[in-house]
Amino acid sequence: MQRGTKRYDASDYFGVSEKMLERVHGHHDPEHHREVTQRMDRRQGASPVALPVAKRG
C-alpha cells in the first residue's frame, strides 16, 4: 500500500475487509503499477518506464 501501510491496518481503519480493500482500491498500490508496467514492457518490447516510488516514513 502507499507509504508502507499494511493492508490489514488500512482495512481496519476504514472498517472494510482486506478483500474489499484490495478489490476496490488495489489499483492505487504502487507495486500494482510496477507489475503492470513490467508485463506491458515485456509484451510490447518497449523500454522500461520509470515510476515514482512512494516515500516511506
Cβ neighbours, 10 Å, residue 21: 19
Q: How far is 17 from 2, CA to CA, in rounded Å?
A: 17
**Domain membership flag for residue 9:** yes
Domain residues for 34?
2-44
**Domain membership flag for residue 11:** yes
Per-residue confidence (pLDDT) for residue 21, from 0 to 100: 87
How many folded domains does the chain comprise?
Answer: 1
**Domain membership flag for residue 49:** no
Q: What is the pLDDT of residues 7-55, one digit of tens each?
A: 889 899 999 999 998 888 877 777 777 877 888 887 665 555 666 666 6
pTM more than 0.75: no
Q: How far is 16 from 52, CA to CA, in rounded Å?
A: 28
